[in-house]
Amino acid sequence: MEDLTKKVHYSINVKGKVQGVFYRASTKEIADQLDIKGWVRNERDGSVLIEAEGTESQINSFLDWCRQGPQYARVEKITWKEKPLEGFHQFSIER
C-alpha cells in the first residue's frame, strides 16, 4: 500500500488552450488550497509547466484539477513524471 503522507515532486506539463485563460493564476489558487509548493510558468511552445511538491494524495487531487483547468481552458494532454524533492517553501507564478 502506498504511503499517502510521503512528500513527492512531480513535473507536470499541460498542453492545449492553457495560455491566456488564467491557467497559471488558477493553478496557484488550487495549489495554495491543497498546500502544494512549487511553481507554474508558460512555456514557449504554448504549454504550461508546473513543478509541484506535496503528499501523494495532495498531488493526486492537484492532477485531477490540472486535467480540467480553469473555466476557459481546454486541456488536450497532460503528462507528468516524478522527480527528486527540491524543498519548495511556497507556490509561485514564474514569468
Q: Kindly list the structural domains of the chain, giving each domain's residue range(s) and its CATH number in brackets, ordered by start.
A: 7-93 (3.30.70.100)
Instruction: Write down the pTM of the prediction.
Output: 0.94
| Amino acid at site 58 | Q
For residue 64, what are the contacts with CB-CB under 8 A and spacing of at least 6? none
- DSSP-derived letter for residue 31 is H
Q: What is the pLDDT along the chain (95 residues), one digit of tens a residue?
A: 566 678 999 999 999 999 999 999 999 999 999 999 999 999 999 999 999 999 999 999 999 999 999 999 999 999 999 999 999 999 999 98
Annotated catalytic residues are 24, 42
